[in-house]
Structure formats: structure tokens, C-alpha cells
Amino acid sequence: MTDSSAGEGTAYGQRDPDALARRAGARADPDRDQHFLVDDRVLDRIPGYLPDDADRSRLLEIGGGAGALTDRLLAAATGDAAATGDSPSRRVTVIERDGAFAEFLREEFAAAVADGLLDVIEGDALDVDLPPFSACVANLPYGVSSEIAFRLLPEKKPLVVMFQAEFADRMVASAGESAYGRLSVSAQHYADVEIVERVPKEAFDPQPAVESAVVRCTPRDPDYVVGDEAFFLRFVKALFTQRRKTVRNAVRNTAHISGLDDPEAVVDAADEELLRSRPGTLEPAAFAALAELARERGSPAEA
């Protein structure tokens, strides 16, 4: 791959990830949940996993590191802008927690910053205000995958995100499968979720202890209605803490989590076949119907 000793001489999308890491002057620190994606082929494919009709005008990356994926996103943004003749409106925003890497990104991509194409926000993605974005493409820190995912999903924007493979498997699992749980129901409430590529640990430096997977989340409205989304998600969380129990006992045993004042009223009103089921066998729509019944009959207290 073409690369120069200084970033400004290299076209977007052509920077070698190993050379970027050398220029950054610091290795990724696994103790800080940092693992650089260094496989050119994977890096080149990732932006292309966005849905064909996704708005690419405001791309968000979380955890830019030494900028290998940032470089590919800039290439996608500038290439799309050239195709549409709409370059002034394009922007890539990177949120980077590590101050040294944030400063390196500003230096490495100084021309993009000067042109208004790139903005680097130094801070924790769990704490900073999210900038306006049309889609997010990121290699997330695995230790906070869940927290970041559930900050992004309610925004209802397309996501192409690298997760630990086990986490990804739980996101896409269907009712009745061993991996199916709170994460599956909650993620699929917001989007169609699919694994688009599995990535071996050798694609990273330093190598993580686990395999990884790229997940695409395409936002859509669920095929059911919930009157209180926060209660629905809390109710799902509560029942899955008792996943080996029947739904009857799970509702009774988790009122302190779901916030129900009268779980017995919910049990008395629910269908007997449903009550004999286990939480892990319920489709998201069944959870939604039961949550609505719980809201009506169980008088959920305010969270």
C-alpha cells in the first residue's frame, strides 16, 4: 500500500495502518481497551457495509486511535461528495478519549481539519454530547460496547460497528437460541441487526483475547407498539434476570427492577400459556404486549 512518511502527502484511504501507528508514536494499550485494526482489507471493506441508501454526509467514528479507519471514512466522505457535487456539506467527526491520539489525528489529518471535513472531539463517548451525525462507523472499545451501543441505537441512524464476537452474536440472536437475551430484544427493538463480517484477532495490534465481528444496524420502527419505551426496556431487563424461571415467576420476582407496584395483577391478567413460557422463548413483540399489560395492570412506579 502507498504511504508517505508524513500524512499530508497521502490521499485519503491510502494510509498504511502500521505506518500510522508508527507516526502516532504510541502503541495501542490493551489495558485501556485499545486494539488497532491493522488489516487493510478489513479496513477497506468496513465503510462499504453502510446501507446503500444511508446518508453519509455526517459520519461519526468513536475511538479513532491512530486514524486507520478515520482515513477510510474521509475517503468515503470525499468520494461520495465528489459523486454528488456536495462537498461543502460533508464532515467526519471522531470522538477520541486518549488525548495523545486526539492530537495526532488533528496533526495527521490537518488538511481535512482545515477544510472543515474532519472534526476531532477529545473526550469519552459516554460523557460528551454526541454531535449531529447521519451514520456511525466505528471500532468500539469492547469494555464499553453495551453502553455506547445503547447510546447510539436510540438515535435511529445506520451503524456499522465492530464488537466482540460474543457480544455481536447476542445482538443478532433469535428467540429460543442460547445467546438470545436482553441485548437481543433491546437491539432489535431499534433496528434490523446483522453480522456482516467476522474478524480474526490477527487483524488487530495488539491482538485481543477474543474474535470480533462487524455488525450493521439498520434503523426501523418495530412491528409492535410500546406506550413507554423506558419501561419496556426496563421490563425486558427485569425478566431476563430470571431467564430460567417461568414468565409467571419472573414477573413476580423482579418488581423491584421493573418498577411494578402490583405484579400479581399482571400475572392474573396474562395468558396462561405465556406465563408458563421462559423469557428466552418470547419474541420481542410478545415482550411488548406483556409490557403493555404490565403498564396497564401493574401500575409501574416512576423510574
User: Binding site for S-adenosyl-L-methionine: what residues are annotated?
Assistant: 35, 37, 63, 96, 124, 139
User: Helix H segments across the chain?
Assistant: 17-24, 40-45, 68-84, 99-108, 110-114, 145-152, 165-172, 182-190, 229-240, 247-253, 255-258, 263-269, 272-276, 284-298
- 192 bridge partner residues: 218
What is d(CA 245, CA 181) in angstroms, rounded to the nearest whole number?
A: 14
Q: Would you list which residues are annotated within the binding site?
A: 35, 37, 63, 96, 124, 139
Within 10 Å of residue 97's Cβ, how many Cβ atoms? 22
Instruction: Please give the C-alpha separations between residue 13 and each of 46, 104, 195, in angstroms, as whole numbers.
Output: 12, 17, 24
Question: Residue 197 contacts by C-beta under 8 Å, 6 or more apart in sequence?
Answer: 42, 45, 49, 213, 214
